[in-house]
Amino acid sequence: MEIIDSNIKIIPLGGLGEIGKNMMVIEQNNELLIIDAGGTFPDEELDGVNIIIPNIDYLEKNHKKIKGLLITHGHEDHIAAIPYLIKNLKVPIYAPKFAVEIIKKKKLKTSSVDITTINIETKYKIGNFNVKWFEVCHSIPDSNGICIETNNGNIIHTGDFKIDHNPIIGNPSNLANLANLANNETLLLMADSTNAEEEGYSSSDKEVFESLFSIISKTKGRVFVCSFASLISRMQMISFIAKLCKRKISFAGRSMINNSEISENLKYLDLEDNDLPLNQCLKLPDNQIIIMITGSQGETSSSLVKLSNNDHKKIKIKENDTVIMSASVIPGNELGINKAIDDLVRLGAKVITNNNLITHTSGHGKKEELRMLINLIKPKNYLPIHGDYRMLKANYNLAKECGIKDENVFLIEDGEILELNNTKGQVSGSINSGEIYLDNNNNISKHKKYNTKTGVIIFCSIDYSSENLFKSIEIKSFGITNNKKNIKLLEKLSDILKSLNFQTNSTIKELEYSLEKSSKEFLRKNMEFTPMVIISTIEI
């Protein structure tokens, strides 16, 4: 491999300072690799928006440098942006087998997709980079980390990972394999921060199995298990339990049905001929039924929400039904899921959550697992990835506790550029990041244009005796994703509006017009759409 020792740029386009939308750029010597291309689900009020993905302006401007898109695993927060990305850029994709099958099921609006199914035993030459995938434990088959070789040392990206010695699917965590990664110097370790605030170790699948078996074996009525559609390990677990409890298993929800079929075809899921189509399963006695359903995040089109609203086409909730919530709630989705649970109880169901009993374990390592990872790999530099700012900060602090020097641990968010060489690393600048709203056809949603359901309300107190007229300015948003980047943006808008100069004899209408014009110009420039701006003023 002939790489000149030169600075390596690490540029997160999504996933740092937020949950989801994971996308990372690795750049050196006029060549660029992308790790993952994920999305996140919109707030309920964003009508017509199916998925939110990272802004890819930087990739479009540097498309000639792109050598490949490297996928760690098949969860939507790592692959949802692929249809839009390959529609706009010709990018060769390298992905594990299970992720490849999920990607192929997507609406790929191109006649040919350059996609390679990787083998973890193989090292791939991609441009001037040597790239190797390594197996990790997570909640979906074929989950991997990625090791990129450079002359400055290895760059290791964990993907989503945990350490589990008793997984339901896949191999136990291979600590020796992780330690082998340290045979060559690790210039940078980028590690999953999702559970960095949590003490101890994540629960094993074995503990969840025992708890769910205990619950279901004592239940007399129908059992509904609500989980992520891509949580194949939970499907396998419930299938085992169904067999032990002499119940049949069925699936409700298009994405869950699709994923179960892919998993069976690839031999990652063995239902032991104990599954039935939903219509047939519903004809059985109640004590012989287990139905796995989508909706663990309160998605409006999911089976769980349809059941809670009593408008599912095939199933109606009745007394003695038990609904087990077997997933963690992603921050920001609490209101929707709590409403669905409340409505299910109102209809007569018993709802069991992870707060009552162990019904779920995370696929992300906690503090002790991160500590073990750091001590095994012994990286020169460390970058927390995948998480809200507080999660990144907890991971950042943990790395320093593990003995990595302060100047070698970095805390950056989407759009910031980390540059590394053999001697030092530094945050050298930033690029325009942001997000794109897509509809069901992976086209840019109307929310990127003028939209009366998206915008800001600006409340102003005007004091004509004051030098700058404004006593106070408060900004409230609606239909705009409430992430850290947008919060900072609205804070900046408030500062700009407060700094505007007006004549003391300006009329209220003149003030409102100027405020609206300045706000629209700022938001259009920074959010790439023209929002609705409502000005509410009061004279004091």
Residue 11 has pLDDT above 90, yes or no: yes
- CA–chain centroid gap for 125, Å, is 28
69 plus 82 within the same structural domain: yes
Last residue of a domain, one of 384, 410, 438: 438
> Catalytic residue among 364, 386, 388, 414, which?
364
pLDDT tens for residues 67-101?
999 999 999 999 999 999 998 898 999 999 999 99
Query: Span 194-210, mean pLDDT?
Result: 89
Query: Span 494-510, mean pLDDT?
Result: 74
189 plus 215 within the same structural domain: no
pLDDT tens for residues 357-411?
788 888 899 999 999 999 999 999 999 999 989 999 999 999 999 999 999 999 9
Kindly report which listed range (343-347, 382-386, 428-432) carries the lowest average pLDDT score. Answer: 428-432
Helix, coil or strand: residue 429: strand
> Catalytic residue among 36, 142, 160, 192, which?
192
Instruction: Establish if 263 belongs to a structural domain.
Output: yes
> Between 3 and 226, whose confidence is greater?
226
101 plus 15 within the same structural domain: yes
Last residue of a domain, one of 331, 352, 373: 352
342 plus 370 within the same structural domain: no
Instruction: Establish if 464 belongs to a structural domain.
Output: yes
The per-residue pLDDT for 469 is 66
Instruction: Establish if 298 belongs to a structural domain.
Output: yes
CATH of the domain at 396: 3.60.15.10
> In which element (H, E) is residue 131 found?
strand 129-135
Instruction: Establish if 444 belongs to a structural domain.
Output: no
Nearest to 342 by CA among 360, 317, 367, 364: 317
Instruction: Establish if 218 belongs to a structural domain.
Output: yes
Nearest to 178 by CA among 17, 370, 355: 370
Nearest to 252 by CA among 312, 317, 320, 337: 312
Number of domains in the chain: 3
Query: Span 514-529, mean pLDDT?
Result: 74
Residue 538 has pLDDT above 60, yes or no: yes
182 plus 319 within the same structural domain: no
CATH of the domain at 319: 3.40.50.10710
Distance of alpha carbon 229 from alpha carbon 75, whole angstroms: 10
Q: Are 326 and 360 in contact, with CB atoms under 8 Å apart?
A: yes
Residue 364 falls in the annotated catalytic set: yes
The residue behind tokens 């999953």 is: 192
What is the pLDDT confidence band of residue 3, given thresholds at 50, 70 and 90? very low
Alpha-helical runs (H) found in 105-223: 175-180, 205-217
Residue 454 has pLDDT above 90, yes or no: no
329 plus 470 within the same structural domain: no
Q: Are 204 and 363 in contact, with CB atoms under 8 Å apart?
A: no
What is the pLDDT confidence band of residue 43, given thresholds at 50, 70 and 90? low
CATH of the domain at 519: 3.10.20.580
Q: Are 301 and 236 in contact, with CB atoms under 8 Å apart?
A: no
Instruction: Establish if 419 belongs to a structural domain.
Output: yes
55 plus 194 within the same structural domain: yes
Last residue of a domain, one of 438, 472, 493: 438
Number of H helices, E strands in the chain: 15, 24
Nearest to 268 by CA among 139, 457, 434: 139
242 plus 145 within the same structural domain: no
345 plus 422 within the same structural domain: no
The per-residue pLDDT for 217 is 95
182 plus 34 within the same structural domain: yes
Q: Are 260 and 106 in contact, with CB atoms under 8 Å apart?
A: no
77 plus 163 within the same structural domain: yes
Query: Span 298-305, mean pLDDT?
Result: 86
Kindly report which listed range (254-263, 310-319, 422-431, 476-485) carries the lowest average pLDDT score. Answer: 476-485
What is the pLDDT confidence band of residue 36, given thresholds at 50, 70 and 90? very high
Instruction: Establish if 477 belongs to a structural domain.
Output: yes
Instruction: Establish if 302 belongs to a structural domain.
Output: yes
Distance of alpha carbon 295 from alpha carbon 338, whole angstroms: 12
Residue 311 falls in the annotated catalytic set: no
The per-residue pLDDT for 152 is 85
Distance of alpha carbon 77 from alpha carbon 381, whole angstroms: 25
Domain that holds residue 250: 205-352
Query: Span 3-9, mean pLDDT?
Result: 68
344 plus 380 within the same structural domain: no
